[in-house]
A and B are shown apart, each in its own frame.
Chain A
């Protein structure tokens, strides 16, 4: 699963810490998602989509063999 979290965060101009605070998780969770080490739950993905005002598909994308 690829994601554009880092790019979207850069567009909003917020740090990992600030994003973590906004959606109620730890900075480590944001860092893990950005590095593709952790796939977030649907709830967290929807929270991120709401914050970035973009559909979940625009932030998270399945890679070749995952579909």
Chain B
């Protein structure tokens, strides 16, 4: 018996076929499983409103795959917090304490940190000096220092009478430094071409500029010294004819 085809309930039962729904969805919007999964994820946090819950229930009623997912999700929810802890074994605490207790309490740690910083500074200073010694412009810097010392020696009011002569000798010796520094810079430039121009060339250019400035100042200093020596000699001849 097929029942009365004109009975509204019978018609509803016959046409409430899930396969028919699926076939229609396949030809229109596609399956609603994607949306259902979003709602299943949200349902976990209890954030589903009444309407969405109703729609989801309607989908689950005829979609076996989503129903299976829903079942698994329901079972997973209380199980997951059991993974929150994983006992590492009895020796773990001891190992951690061993690694951390070697450090002293905070005040002591601060002192040792200061000592460590000072040591670090000393090491850096030492390394810096060693590096400076190997630099090509070290000769130039030494020449600058020498020039500064000579200036102090010559123009100081406490400078002895014969100092100007000694200064002249120092200046003469210092004059040899300039070509030497130039030669070393030339060698550095050649090395730069081989090892990486982008780093060394600006440094060499900077050093050359410094050297040029030094030469200008050095010649001015030499001229001043010569003038002073001439004046000294002139005064000597005037006082001791």
Bind each other: no
